[in-house]
Structure 1
Amino acid sequence: MSDKFFNKPFRLSSLFSGNGIQSTDLGKSISNHIELIIFTRYGEHRYQQNFGCEIWDLDFELIVSESIWEEKFRKSLLKSITDHELRIYNMSVDIHIAEVENVYPMRKITEIKKKVDISVRALIKATGEKYFFNTALFLSPLST
């Protein structure tokens, strides 16, 4: 495995100007890859149809039970990370969904969104160090 990791997004302008591509450390590279897994829909990657996660199919699903929805998404994400991010092991994925209400009094608009908090804990194979990834997504904008 290479010891050189590249930052995303790639800045092609710096490459063409002769400065090369900006590199990053192992932890940031793993985080970038996990973000890519989260934001990719199954079937979107032409050569790896199983790359991605189920969030795109679950986004428009009517949420009858938040705990069932969280567990479905957690299992999907855990499987994808286990299959595609080979630099970490002993993973746990936590998903929590909550409603967030934004009120815009000047425009007389209330916006309700679903916020999904995603946490991944693991160990890095190369060093044995603890690894932690955390992000939040907003789904289903509802406005009045």
Structure 2
Amino acid sequence: MAASFYSKPFNFKNIFEQREFQEADLGKSISNNIQLIIFTRYGEHRFNPDFGCEIWDLDFELIVSETIWEEKFRKSLFRSITEYEKRLYDVTVEVKMSEVEKFYPQRNVTEIKKKVDIVVKGKINSTGEKYFFSTALFLSPLTS
């Protein structure tokens, strides 16, 4: 029997209308779980305080060295993905920080934010297929 994977966000209206949730393929399900790991703070998950990653603690930390910050975040994310995404093996995580400048002409203001690019690569256990996930976050306040 094949496992069912569901798309997020859930449309809870479907429960009340007795309809099925929208399903997702295996790759999309893995990506959803990695996103959940990234956006969950340690201690936030009531039944598993170790679920999540360190981005929330690092977001407002004074960044003295981008290299040290990137490595702390990369290690945190790698540990969580290898622990909580068992459908992948040979996982690698890359984290790269850069600055992005945006000009707002209405206010005549230039805003500089830190951007973090995240790349996760691995192989899917059940098929051996290569897996690739990529996203970018903007820090302080954290946004995607």
Q: How does 1:37-116 map to 2 (within 5 A)?
A: 37-116=37-116
Per-residue deviation, residues 83-125 of structure 1 (Å, max 9, x unmatched) = 1000000000000000101011221111111100000000000
Q: Which moved more, 1:36-45 or 1:8-17?
A: 8-17
Secondary structure at 1:114 match in 2: strand
Partners of 1:137 and 1:16 lie apart in 2 by 35
Matched residues, number: 141
Matched to 2:10, the amino acid is F
Partners of 2:84 and 2:111 lie apart in 1 by 36
Q: Give the TM-score normalised by structure 2.
A: 0.94
Partners of 2:123 and 2:36 lie apart in 1 by 19
5+ residue gaps in structure 2? Answer: none
1:121 is matched with 121
Decide whether aligned partners of structure 1 residues 138 and 8 sit closer, same or farther in structure 2, where only a CA change above 3 A counts: same
Partners of 1:54 and 1:95 lie apart in 2 by 13
1:30 is matched with 30
TM-aligned CA deviation for residue 17 of structure 1: 1.5
Matched to 2:88, the amino acid is I
**Share of identical aligned residues, percent?**
65
Tell me how large the CA RMSD over aligned residues is.
1.2
TM-aligned CA deviation for residue 35 of structure 1: 0.2
